[in-house]
Structure 1
Amino acid sequence: MGDTRLHGLKDLEARLAQDMVWLNLPAKPWLNPLDVEGQRVLDVAIIGAGLCGLVAAAALRHLGVDNVELFDRAPEGREGPWVTYARMRTLRTAKAASGPALGIGSLTFRAWYEAQWGGDAWDRMDLAPREIWMDYLVWYRKVTRAKVNNGADVTRISMREDGLLELTVSGRPALARRVVLATGLDGLGAPKLPAIASGVDKAFVAHSSDMFDLEGLAGKRVGVVGAGASAMDNAAAALEAGAASVDLFVRRSELPRIDKFTGVGSKGMTHGFYGLPDPIKWEFINEGDRAAVPPPRHSVKRVSAHDNARLHLESPIVGLRDCGDHIVAQTPRGDYPLDFLIFATGFGIDLASRPELADIAPHILTWGDRVDEQRRAANPQLARAPYLADDFTFLEAEPGKCPALSSIACFAYPAVPTHGKLTSGIPAVSDGADRLAKGMVRSLFVEEAEAHLQRFMTYQTPELLGDEWPDADTVRSTGSASSAQFLRKEIS
């Protein structure tokens, strides 16, 4: 079976190589190499080598921006959430979504899957197992020739007087003309852990994005806070690990039922959202936040199938009491003794909390700067989201104070209020990468306008050599062969 799979992948990779030839991809590099202080300056540095980082790098390379490197603190093969803190069995995205394929059929997840297991196996599969999806991204990284630096922690992005950006990467400097933040859900903030969690021993609480010992929950009383997919995934994982009981605490009177964005998703939404007036964009995202995204039906059933799972509606955690060997979760409807409590409470945007953004965070324009006080108060989380340019770059809150922001792009979840759902998952990520790459190519070309003009002015490679077709009057006056004879001679 292994040999068959390997043979199938080799055939697919050969087809992909042929597709790239037919599409004339990648385009030839066109930027002038830049060396500063004895080191080659990166054209683009991408922070994060997960889904968004990989597709951004591939899209840039297709447009002839070849000097691109990605930096990720995770070990190779463990970038992103898929085999780390994600605890669902399968992806929630439809398996047929083209994802990061950039319009190339042989680069799709389906092509990769069928090359190894065949079309019948594809038809039998409902949703993609998350580990299989991670294997696909590892392959995608290889065939797109992404230059990834693993174990590389970017701790600061600094602005230089020469207009370049300096990254501190695991204590070492790296220079770049452009930077892309492809840092996922928590790219501009941190996991949201309620203040009440700080009042008890850390051994009793965790965020759903934390890495904790699932097997260690066997025989324990576990609580989970939240009503979304992550809450269901963590509850199910705890139950399957042998938890004695799982109590799910939800502040709402019922679980969210309607996924509004999926219901109105279309290419019109994908490509048109950015052009909407700000008030309409705000209404879309604000209503999406209010309604919330429901967990998939199969995720809920995965939990409710267990007799020792209990759902508590209208039950926000209002207090936590540390009892030494356990904690007690206090809700308006009762108190619950627990051995471990998982907060599946999402991620917050908090620019000031990101040390790598310390130099630029105070200057970033946010949605709160663009809307009135009433809207800011109604949705402070949305108000903290960056208000981005059409190429995903940051804008200045006060023009002229931090021009380097136009060289830094936010290709992560917080881009959604400005650009729509291009960076929030798999379905439209290629559309987002295409928009990002074209915008970055435009700005890099304009930045080098003088050099490109000079190259144009001095270009002297001739297409015609002057002997292709002689002047008829000159031929007649010199008595040489007629032009027709000349042509026949040349052809023969």
Structure 2
Amino acid sequence: MTMTPSLAGAGLDALNARVQYDLACLNIPPANWVPQQTLDNGQAVHDVVIIGGGQCGLVAAFALLSGGISNIRIFDRNPVGLEGPWLNYARMETLRSPKTLPGPSYGFASLTFRAWYEAQFGTQAWEALDKIPRPTWMAYLSWYREVLKLPVENNVKVEHVTPEGDLLRLELSGPGAPSETVLTRKLVMATGREGTGAPKIPTFVDSLPAHAWAHSADEIDFARLKDKRVAVIGVGASAVDNAAEALEHGAQEVRFLIRRKQMPLINKMMGIGSFGFTHGYASLPDEWRWRIMHYSFATQTPPPRGSTLRVSRHANAHFHFGCGINTMRMEDDEIVIETQQGVVRCDYLILGTGFEIDPLARTELAGYADRILLWRDRYQPPAELANDELGNFPYVERDFAFQEREPGEAPWLRNIHCFNYGATVSLGKVSGDIPGISEGASWLAGAIAANLYREDAELHWQRLEQYDSPELLGDEWEATPLPEHAGNV
């Protein structure tokens, strides 16, 4: 289904009206059906709290509201308009994903990026658009949040989550944080690429002062790199994007130090994306899921063609393959890097080393993250498929909930849902990447709804027994006695 042609170029007011009409036609949001819980001291208990107001947090919230679960809160640590990576550490010019993907639209044509873009710029502009510019995607997400009236609370960081019986208590900080702690029955960690870990920092930078290097996810003052020699570790998308920024800000030179011997050329996962893969991957046996993800990790994902050309058009950009790092040290203000091919000297180092999966690195889970079931606890691959990184991913079921490593030791983990990159090995790319996030949100909302209903079964039974709104008033018929020999001729 495509957007109604009359809305193309009609402006956001017309599109907003269409969205509201579509929601009204489907009775979204319906009335809340979850019984309200309150502590003896009067403190309210929320049904769901979502950490993260980026694209995954937004579509998760919409899915829950669409299912009649309205007692929710969404916390994001960033200011309004800076949720997610798009205007923070993401530095690509355009998204990798094709512009036609439905993304977080959750089955609504009027909520797609295309509808939003055409409403403002018209059909011809849409046809002329190649890839979606990164800031434009952030503008679309801001509109999505606004038109759906999603209750994101900004400048609120969740510091720690403490189990309290069947509930979870959240300790909050930041200028937007409420003064009291918050209680919730279910917690959704829509925390993005670093959602179950942290930036991967190799030990070889331990000898360098903090001002000499940065991870690609850090805030970097690229203007300060003018006329500087910059070394970039890695050649993934983030490494390439950060190198481009340095070059465009006047770096004297940028040298990629790349461990692998050649550039990966094919994004293998792009070749198998389908409705079947999205819904079928999660049901595969462990050995198949491990095999697929191991292959994806081993072949690696190449940086986008446009991003790579953005770098290579600079004559002072250099790609050095087979150039793994041995050691690093400082000599005065100069970084000296010993590589497998020789010595490289530079003024600044950028780590394009990605993120690692490590639940123990999450401060929110401090004190019990070691009780989370990981893939290495559940599955032992054959020697040729061994991979410590894959083994660190949490092993989650279709509801995205953490599971206990030792049954009975941390039952509250089932109330924390890993709706982020950490669920990838278990469920595929349905909790972070644009292609599958609406499907993932649907699974998440359905599972949370089922869990809440099951936990409240006694209350719902009482509602059933106590329901007394009559369908009939008694005046719709008149009782008559059966006459003798009724029906005889």
TM range (shorter): over 0.9
Gaps of 5+ in 1: 478-492
Give the partner amino acid of 1:329: I
Counterpart CA distance in 1 for 2:305 and 2:80 is 33
Alignment-derived partner of residue 169 in structure 2: 166
Q: CA deviation at 1:46?
A: 0.5
Matched residue SS, 2:36: coil
For residues 316-351 of structure 1, the C-alpha deviation after alignment (integer angstroms, 9 at most, x for no partner) is 122112012121122111211111110100100112
Cα separation, partners in 2 of 1:5 and 1:242, compared to 1, 3 Å: farther
Alignment-derived partner of residue 349 in structure 1: 357
For residues 7-40 of structure 1, the C-alpha deviation after alignment (integer angstroms, 9 at most, x for no partner) is 6101001000100111121122101111223222
Alignment-derived partner of residue 234 in structure 2: 226
Mapping for residues 80-95 of structure 1, pairs under 5 Å: 80-95=84-99
Counterpart CA distance in 2 for 1:12 and 1:228 is 37
From 279, 292, 304, give the equivalent of 2:312: 304
Matched residue SS, 2:434: coil
Matched residue SS, 1:46: strand
8 Å CA contact 2:400–2:417 kept in 1: the answer is yes
Matched residue SS, 2:122: helix
Matched residue SS, 1:450: helix
Matched residue SS, 1:335: strand
Q: CA deviation at 1:375?
A: 5.5
Q: CA deviation at 1:231?
A: 1.2
**1:27 is aligned to 2:30:** yes
Q: CA deviation at 1:258?
A: 1.2
Q: CA deviation at 1:473?
A: 3.7
Gaps of 5+ in 2: 1-6, 174-178, 485-489
Mapping for residues 48-87 of structure 1, pairs under 5 Å: 48-87=52-91
Alignment-derived partner of residue 236 in structure 1: 244
Identity %: 46
Q: CA deviation at 1:264?
A: 0.6
Alignment-derived partner of residue 124 in structure 2: 120
Counterpart CA distance in 1 for 2:270 and 2:30 is 35
Matched residue SS, 2:33: coil
From 182, 186, 195, give the equivalent of 1:178: 186
Counterpart CA distance in 2 for 1:39 and 1:8 is 44
8 Å CA contact 2:372–2:394 kept in 1: the answer is yes
Alignment-derived partner of residue 471 in structure 2: 463
Counterpart CA distance in 2 for 1:333 and 1:375 is 30
Counterpart CA distance in 1 for 2:73 and 2:467 is 31
Alignment-derived partner of residue 262 in structure 2: 254
- Count of residue pairs brought into register by the alignment: 472
Normalised to the residue count of structure 2, the TM-score between the two structures is: 0.94
From 151, 155, 172, give the equivalent of 1:151: 155
From 275, 289, 300, give the equivalent of 2:297: 289
Alignment-derived partner of residue 459 in structure 2: 451
Q: CA deviation at 1:472?
A: 4.4
Alignment-derived partner of residue 481 in structure 1: none
For residues 121-170 of structure 1, the C-alpha deviation after alignment (integer angstroms, 9 at most, x for no partner) is 11111011110110111111112221111111111111112x11101011
From 100, 105, 108, give the equivalent of 1:101: 105
8 Å CA contact 2:99–2:131 kept in 1: the answer is yes
Matched residue SS, 1:199: coil
Matched residue SS, 1:56: helix
Alignment-derived partner of residue 3 in structure 2: none
Q: CA deviation at 1:460?
A: 1.1
**1:314 is aligned to 2:339:** no
For residues 212-247 of structure 1, the C-alpha deviation after alignment (integer angstroms, 9 at most, x for no partner) is 101111111111111211111111111111111010
Larger fraction in helix: 1
Counterpart CA distance in 2 for 1:16 and 1:101 is 11
**C-alpha root-mean-square deviation of aligned residues, in Å?**
1.7
Cα separation, partners in 2 of 1:373 and 1:417, compared to 1, 3 Å: closer
Alignment-derived partner of residue 360 in structure 1: 368
Q: CA deviation at 1:408?
A: 0.7
Q: CA deviation at 1:374?
A: 5.2
8 Å CA contact 1:376–1:383 kept in 2: the answer is no
For residues 64-107 of structure 1, the C-alpha deviation after alignment (integer angstroms, 9 at most, x for no partner) is 00011111111111011100111100111111110000000101
From 139, 146, 156, give the equivalent of 2:143: 139
